[in-house]
Structure 1
Amino acid sequence: MVRAGVLAILARDAHVEVVAEASDGHEALALSRLHRPDVVLLDIQMPGLDGLTAAAQLHRESTAVGVIMLTTFGQDEYVTRALEEGADGFLLKADDPRELLNGVRAVGAGGAYLSPRVAGRVIAGLRAHRAAHPHRSLERLTEREREVLAGLGTGLSNAEIASRLHLVEGTVKAHVSAVFAKLGARNRVEAAISAYEAGLVPSGPR
């Protein structure tokens, strides 16, 4: 029933094509390897292999596949572990259906997306962590890396950053990896928060 509901929501967007549907975590991994989709939706609890383990495996095998956790479990520990395991998005089944479409579009374009219900808690947790680790500084970034970080902060995909800075997408990917390493960021969400706190992104009601 849940999968049928997800399919019905995704069918609203003519630019989204569902290439496969899995009934358990092992099948999800196998179908992902076969079809190489842009986005994979996983649940925290899945038969056979849980979604967090599947997300970690997908992330190890290919960073080109975007992973979104779609679950009823919104506790902080699940959100944190999902992001640590390589998830690019975290959505709750109780969210507005439009959030699912927004998340799939964002992650499919190379970005990241968090449910509004958990985003505030993630930001608060990261700010507390940064306060306890003040050595994370933008001073280590080159000027080009700061420009790329600003793009991450405004939610741009790698392709959009490349277009803005007149670079090829492969070069942007290399800069993104360097930014992550220098800031100690584990994903685009943490990097975006760093950009916001450093003043690289204008404040606003986003």
Structure 2
Amino acid sequence: MESNLEQKLKTLPELSGCYIYRDKKGAILYIGKSKNLKHRVKSYFTKTQIGKTARLVHHIHDLELIITDSEQEALLLEMTLIMKYQPPYNVMLKDEIQYTYLKITKEANPHLELTKEIKKDGARYFGPYASSYKATETHELLQKIYPLCHCEGKRGRPCFYYQIGMCLGPCVREVTKEEYEAQIQKIEAFFLWQRI
């Protein structure tokens, strides 16, 4: 192991953030995140690794850390950096990992839904959630507190969700854009409050 890397491993902080592994040429090999950088990064070098992880560790020449205020912030940063740099070992080691988002659709009767991908469709996205369970819990809570459209919005009999107070009710009345926007702003405020 290179002495420069050894020195960095001795001074790892017990803080949340992202770590970036580089090869001899300075190219990024892998980007990861942790709520405790010291424990996570050291685990690569103190445990016996096999397969792709062993090959990664063999090629690590340098290490860079980015400290964050929270684990959630580290997750967002990790995703942003991976999308920007496309490190080869992230593709090999993190194949098929997808995070969950909450999405407010852009349509006449917007509704709140869970999704695994962000599209350029004019919708509003919130997240990511590393746990689908937490995303589902948040989705259900927001549907109860700040209901949007929960039905198809076809006029006729009130839907079940309208009857229990979980739908604005375009099935029984005209719901204005202003009403939807007021609910959407409350949902956005909820996510801003969560980050504080």
TM-score band by shorter chain is under 0.3
TM-score scaled by structure 2? 0.23
Bigger proportion of residues as strand = 2
Of Structure 1 and Structure 2, the greater helix share is in 1
